[in-house]
Amino acid sequence: MATAMKKADNAAKTSKSNNKKEIKGTSQTKKTSSANNNDAKVLVKSEGSIGDGMLDHDTRQKTAKAIAPKKPKNVVRQSAAEVSAHRQDYAGLDAETLVKMYRTMYLSRRIDDKEIQLKGQNKIFFQISGAGHEAVLVAAAQAMKPAYDWFFPYYRDRALMLGLGMTAQEMLYSSVGAEVDPNSHGRQMPSHWGHKDLNVPSQSSCTGSQALHAVGAAEAGYRASLVKGLRDKIDGFKGDEVVYMSVGDGTTSEGEWWEALNSACNMKLPVIFVVEDNGYAISTPVEVNTAGGDISKLVAGFPNLLIQKCDGTNPVESYETFVRAVKFCRERKGAAFVHAKVTRPYSHSLSDDEKLYRPAEELEKDAAIDPIKTFAEFIMTEGIASSEELEKLRKEVDKEVTEAADIAINTPQPPPESAFRNVFSPDVDPTSKEFDTEDGAELSGNAGTMVDLINRCMHEEMERDERIVVFGEDVADCSREEYLETVKGKGGVFKVTANLQRKFGSARVFNSPLAEANIVGRAVGLSLRGIKPVVEIQFFDYIFPAFHQIRNEVAVTRWRSDGDTKCPMVIRVPVGGYLKGGAVYHSQSGTTLFAHTPGLMIVYPSNALDANGLLRTAIRCDDPVLFLEHKHLYRQIYNKSQYPSSEFLIPFGKAKVVREGTDVTIVTYGALVQRSFEAAKRLEKTGVSVELIDLRSLVPYDWERVAESVKKTNRVIVAHEDPISYGYGAEIAARISDELFEYLDAPVRRVGATDTFVGYAPQLEDFILPQIDDVEKAVAELMRY
């Protein structure tokens, strides 16, 4: 094909360079353009376009002339047999397939053009194109298997999705925000792909975050290959499925992309990392974004990685590249890396105007190698199809796109009340009676600490459900298995996961790199395919590298796909202060940040028995759960318990009345439960009767129990370990004031930490964190109101 393509280029007198020449890391080779875009924009402008990214009239005329496919002279049409005889030149692709690939490329471009037109008419609300990327994407689709392999594309990958089987109609449903849109049912921007039937999980706008999901999805197959019982429990296990993930050249600066590449190479996972290098990250050129201007050189040191570069404007060369990459991954030799040089003939999006930072000369040069133009010329030069046949094809595509747009524009958007749909699972309700076996539960054995009962729960749940995997930093007993018989084993810095690896093996209990986003991001990919990750973030203070994944991916995946994609998991996190010496970075609580995230459940037990029952519910839940374990409570004597049965469950949203009272209610959770209990005992001696409520779960919380108590006592204090201002307690206090005002005999009060961080010196820590005296004083003052 390389030879044939060069013949076509010569016949058409284009400026296309040798297909096999190495992609240079200079700004000159990273500039892009297309007059086809400008033709579309002229049409839009005549109809009242917003005019974003438009070039001046002379430039439009020059680029339009450069991109228009030229009919080759003296071309003799070949027979099917003659074309077949030259198949070795086309990487094994026959004439029918080549024309089909061109059709997909042209269809992709015309959908972009139609969206630009519709945006100018205010009939759609956002547009970002895949123009210039079409060739490498149809090649990828041709080399891979829809609904067999897994795909984590990015917003330029329109042609890939068309090649996999998505239709123009479906894409235009997305453009107008129709409820029947298969990407998100009207909830996500267009070109943010998701298609349940094609193994394309819902994608977000966060560039590069899906790289870790792709690794997790590949890892699901890897874990299933190690654990026979998993093979019929995870989604789409075939034994040789490959995972595709793509980014633009700008996203290769993201840390999570590098974390993903590291893990994929370390485990030899079948992930194809595709970099569609169009030379720009919005307005930032590649040499500014990437050290040396060539990402291929930067990844050269990774082991088990097949690295290839290709001309991404050449469909057949790109196909050859992908065939090698897919073969390498299917044979489980490792991961593959495809660096494809493409063009970007349109502005980054309709919110960008490329003429502000790209000169006309650069755009004209790239217009000459636009894949829509050059591939059409190749097909005609090779005699695969005539210019008349291609023109007929283009008219058919134009008609298809126009008709699909007309239908889409008249298709209903989702009803407003549907916004509440699929925030959480509609099928599994962890607040229901099904998850409540607490009352009358039989306990046995010697009393254990919170650590002991959490550990017991995980042992029992892993025995019950083979889909559960446990990983994080230092959670394994010993990663070097040959030492297991001679060492005691780590099992987590607090020993909460001790002996899980010994019992269930290294395929189900394993250490992760020291990278919190890596832990949570991989858990997303694993859970997408039906594995149930129970992961650990070693200290809450270090959860923030993963906050991006938790907030923008974990919590929102079900909602943004309207239930088509979900990622249930448990994120266990040691949290809180009162340790003496924990200081700033080992004493944080920070629950408010996470409670303000729709789609994420939060559990915060105060004693060993509750921790056991709530963790069991969290594991069996169908939503992501942040399970907070207070470090100070891990081994306290006062909160120990005998062991319940393996079916002991405490539902979320069921608070516990720790102490009955009549004069004032304290609503609290975590370490403040015991401190409030001690304060209540002191107050009882002064004649004040305190009712103490332990919320146990923060999202959801038991409003009914709180309201019932406030109606009885008419006074309430909300106590928590977080800083007092802007905190979780403010939500409870505000709702009490709003809905129970007529029952109050005094203002709602709060007790919390100072609006600072936690200091190292014990005297300083005691002042900052709320103590028994603080709770007692607040109640006494409230009673005097």
Enzyme catalytic residues? 586
R_g of the chain computed on alpha carbons: 30
At 597, is the secondary structure helix, strand, or coil? coil
Nearest to 159, CA basis, from 205, 115, 207, 107: 107
The tally of CA atoms less than 13 A away on the side-chain side of residue 129 is 35
Distances (CA, A) of 408 to 8, 331, 352, 441, 671: 38, 42, 25, 56, 55
d(CA 190, CA 558): 17
> What is the rounded (10 degree) CA torsion for 217, 218, 224, 226?
-140
d(CA 510, CA 55): 55
d(CA 10, CA 15): 9
* 371-381 and 134-143 helices, crossing angle to 10°: 60
Polymer length of the chain: 785
Distances (CA, A) of 316 to 330, 344, 666: 21, 19, 70
**Cα 267 to the chain's mean position, in Å?**
21
Place of tokens 């200079």: 26
Distances (CA, A) of 375 to 40, 67, 342, 759: 20, 11, 14, 66
**Cα 526 to the chain's mean position, in Å?**
12
> Cβ-count burial of 383 within 10 angstroms (0-12 exposed, 13-18 middle, 19+ buried)?
middle
At 261, is the secondary structure helix, strand, or coil? helix
* Per-position b or e across 113-138, b if 16+ CB within 10 A of its CB: bbbbbbbbeeebebbbbbbbbbbbbb
What is the phi/psi pair of residue 511, to 5°? -85, 150
Instruction: Please provide the distance, in angstroms rounded to a whole number, between the alpha carbons at the two ends of the chain.
Output: 87
* Per-position b or e across 574-602, b if 16+ CB within 10 A of its CB: bbbbbeeebbeebbbbbbbbbbebebbbb
d(CA 648, CA 252): 47
Confirm if 363 and 33 have CB atoms less than 8 A apart. Answer: yes
Peptide bond into 700 cis (omega under 30): yes
Confirm if 648 and 450 have CB atoms less than 8 A apart. Answer: no
* Per-position b or e across 478-501, b if 16+ CB within 10 A of its CB: beeeeebeeeebbbbebbbbbbbb
**Cα 280 to the chain's mean position, in Å?**
23
For CA atoms 469, 475, 479, 485, give the dihedral sign: negative
Nearest to 645, CA basis, from 436, 464, 502, 457: 457
d(CA 268, CA 637): 46
* The two structure tokens encoding residue 174: 């997305």
d(CA 131, CA 373): 12
Q: Which helix (H) or strand (E) holds 656?
A: strand 656-659
Tally DSSP H helices, then E strands, for the chain. 28, 21
**Eight-class DSSP state of 477:** S
At 300, is the secondary structure helix, strand, or coil? coil
* The two structure tokens encoding residue 315: 């469909």
At 175, is the secondary structure helix, strand, or coil? helix
